[in-house]
Amino acid sequence: MKYALLSSTALFAVASLCSAPVLADDHTKGLATAEIQEWDVPWDDSRPRDPWVHEGTVWFVETGVQPNRLVGFDTESKTFSEPMPIPSGGGTVRHMYYDEATDSIWFGTDVDTVGVVRLTP
């Protein structure tokens, strides 16, 4: 898979749900428990935003740097991909959307541009 990527220290959480019910008051019966693991984003001033999960990778935009960067976090190896700058003209990326038909991530910016990242060649 080819990565196209978008940076402050921030926490990124991935939760995995268990199937065991919580034993508590009536209003919590049948709810699943969750194990939460957190990883520090390894770059300063990251400000992660708009996470999207695809095939075991959590994609997010770093909005604390200019230009913004797209980053992938591999949930199996627990590693971050190299950040890839998104030349949005100084704006901040907003509202990422994954399009399965084209294996692409579409996004808008606050400077009235639309961009696309193709995850496969």
Question: How confident is the model over 63-110, as pLDDT tens digits?
Answer: 888 888 999 999 999 999 999 888 776 688 888 888 989 988 898 888
Residue-number span of the structural domain to which 79 is assigned: 41-118
Which region among 7-16, 37-46, 95-104 has the lowest average model confidence (pLDDT)?
7-16
pLDDT at residue 17 greater than cutoff 50: no
pLDDT at 16: 30
Pairing of strands 57-62, 69-74: antiparallel
Residue 110 forms part of a structural domain: yes
pLDDT at residue 19 greater than cutoff 70: no
Residue 26 forms part of a structural domain: no
Mean pLDDT, the chain, whole residue set: 75
Q: How far apart are CA 22 and CA 31, in angstroms?
A: 6
Rounded to a whole number of angstroms, the CA Rg of the chain reads 17
**Dihedral sign, CA of 90, 96, 100, 101?**
negative
pLDDT at 6: 28
- pLDDT > 70 fraction of the chain, expressed in percent and rounded: 74
The model's pTM is: 0.66
Q: How far apart are CA 18 and CA 47, in angstroms?
A: 29
pLDDT at residue 25 greater than cutoff 90: no
Residue 1 forms part of a structural domain: no
Count of structural domains within the chain: 1
Strands annotated E in 1-121: 11-21, 32-40, 48-54, 57-62, 69-74, 79-80, 84-85, 93-99, 104-109, 114-118
Residue whose token pair is 């200019």? 66
Closest alpha carbon to 14 in 59, 101, 75: 75
What CATH number is attached to the domain comprising 88? 2.40.10
A 10 A CB-CB count for 47 gives 17
Residue 80 forms part of a structural domain: yes
